[in-house]
């Protein structure tokens, strides 16, 4: 056999056979595969063409699987058939009962509403901004700047001897600013006198409360200035000077003379006392005359001090009569829109609108910070309680494991009875 294979002719034949087999394999590998879901007409033509070959004894080619589309009514049995010529497999799906009309109507209305009004988009990003914007005051709409002069006249007389006497006045002329009425004439003005008097004037500075005819109140800081108009409609040189000018009243015209006499008597009595030289200096002698002179000197000194005190208070004071006109020089921006009943908006304090807004802003900031701190404290307390509860549960689990008895076989009730009955029989 090996000798036959070594012949050149035989080797050439074998080479031709191998090459031909490889060429056939390559040819059949390049042919396209037949589609599984080929149309029914093409499949029937192919089956008719190859019917003779199938009748020769070869098995018939299996039909390709093709999905069949079918429309059925609601409530009918729905079947799914696969295959072209013959039915390969049939699936019977039970028909569902139609829903009640109310459910259909509600479902259709809900779908209609859903189609008409789509749901809002979800919030994809949640931003927490803890940085607050700085406070920006708002400009008042109706106002008058600082330094306006409001003409007023006293309603009651004011004395410097009693500074608790209220200063009650009325605005005598309308005050306009930028063609807008700020203070109407007839508005009441309430204030308090200062700590004392300066020469022939009473100082009235601080808070001035304006009361409108409808009861609204507005408080502003101001200073009282003298208003003195001459008979020729000109103003005196002291017009606009500080304080309300009045007259000096003296109840005792000889009070100063009495004080001088008392001081002189005190000096004379002290110098007329009899004295002697000692190691401590001149010492008055213990005599009746010296005692009388010493007592008279002390009485003269006390009388001089009493007259001096009365002279500074009651004997010499400034009186401003009712009807005296003066200016109210405003040191704050006048905002008539801040007026309120009983001064509740300002709380009877000379504060401006932006100061109130800033105070409200500061309070809101404090409340926000307080609420944030409380929420953080509550969250920390809840986390602490949760951890404590978890620790307590773990401790309880360990205690249960320790207290649990060791696993020992416990005989059943039947076994116990059997052992009990069998015990006597084992003993002879």
Q: How does DSSP classify residue 343?
A: T
The answer to which of 24-33, 76-85, 329-338, 387-396 has the lowest mean pLDDT is 76-85
pLDDT at 186: 95
pLDDT digits over 343-378, tens only?
999 988 999 998 998 888 888 888 888 988 999 999
If you average pLDDT over every residue of the chain, what do you get? 76
Q: What is the pLDDT of residues 64-82, one digit of tens each?
A: 444 455 555 555 555 545 4
Average pLDDT over residues 80-92: 46
> Residue 289 and residue 39: Cα distance in Å, rounded?
160
Least reliable range by pLDDT among 116-120, 140-144, 271-275, 277-281: 116-120
CB contact set of 85 (below 8 Å; sequence gap of 6+): 40, 43, 44, 47, 63
- pTM for the whole structure: 0.51
Contact 211, 183 (CB under 8 A): no
- Domain spans in the chain, listed from the N-terminal domain onward: 149-250+317-349, 255-313, 352-385
Q: What are the helix and strand counts (H, E) for the chain?
A: 9, 19
Percent of the chain's residues with pLDDT above 70: 67
E strand or H helix that includes residue 289: helix 288-313
Which CATH fold would you assign to the domain 149-250+317-349?
Lipocalin (2.40.128)
Residue 122 near residue 101 (C-beta atoms within 8 A): no
Over residues 203-224, the mean pLDDT reads 95
Better-predicted residue by pLDDT, 309 or 241: 241
- What is the pLDDT, as a whole number, of residue 336? 94
Question: What tokens does 156 get?
Answer: 């009651």
């Amino acid at each position: 056999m090996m000798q036959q294979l070594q012949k050149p002719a035989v080797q050439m034949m074998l080479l031709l056979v191998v090459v031909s087999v490889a060429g056939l394999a390559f040819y059949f590998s390049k042919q396209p595969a037949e589609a599984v879901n080929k149309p029914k007409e093409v499949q029937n033509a192919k089956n008719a063409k190859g019917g003779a070959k199938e009748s020769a004894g070869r098995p018939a080619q299996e039909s390709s699987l093709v999905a069949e589309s079918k429309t059925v009514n609601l409530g009918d049995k729905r079947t799914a058939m696969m295959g072209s010529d013959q039915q390969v497999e049939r699936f019977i799906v039970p028909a569902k009962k139609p829903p009640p009309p109310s459910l259909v109507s509600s479902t259709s209305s809900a779908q209609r509403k859903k189609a008409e009004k789509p749901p809002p988009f979800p919030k994809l990003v949640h931003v927490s901004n803890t940085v607050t914007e700085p406070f920006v005051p708002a400009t008042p709409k109706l106002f008058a700047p600082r330094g306006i002069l409001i003409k007023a006249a006293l309603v009651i007389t004011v004395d410097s001897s009693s500074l608790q006497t209220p200063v009650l006045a009325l605005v005598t002329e309308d005050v306009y600013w930028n063609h807008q009425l700020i203070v109407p004439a007839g508005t009441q003005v309430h204030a308090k006198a200062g700590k004392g008097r300066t020469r022939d004037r009473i100082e009235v500075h601080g808070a001035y409360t304006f009361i409108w005819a409808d009861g609204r109140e507005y408080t502003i800081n101001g200073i009282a200035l003298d208003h003195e108009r001459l008979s020729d409609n000109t103003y005196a040189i002291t017009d606009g000077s500080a304080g309300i000018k009045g007259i000096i009243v003296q109840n005792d015209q000889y009070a100063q003379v009495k004080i001088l006499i008392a001081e002189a008597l005190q000096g004379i009595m002290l110098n007329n006392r009899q004295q002697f030289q000692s190691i401590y200096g001149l010492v008055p002698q213990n005599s009746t005359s010296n005692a009388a002179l010493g007592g008279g000197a002390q009485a003269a000194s006390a009388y001089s001090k009493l007259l001096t005190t009365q002279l500074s208070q009651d004997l010499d004071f400034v009186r401003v009569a009712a009807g005296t006109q003066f200016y109210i020089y405003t040191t704050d921006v006048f905002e008539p829109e801040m007026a309120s009943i009983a001064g509740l908006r300002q709380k009877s304090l000379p504060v401006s609108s932006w100061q109130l807004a800033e105070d409200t802003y500061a309070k809101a900031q404090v409340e926000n910070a307080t609420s944030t701190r409380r929420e953080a404290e509550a969250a920390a307390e809840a986390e602490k309680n949760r951890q404590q509860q978890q620790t307590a549960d773990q401790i309880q689990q360990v205690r249960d494991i320790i207290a649990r008895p060791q696993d020992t076989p416990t005989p059943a009730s039947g076994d116990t009875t059997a052992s009990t009955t069998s015990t006597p029989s084992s003993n002879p």
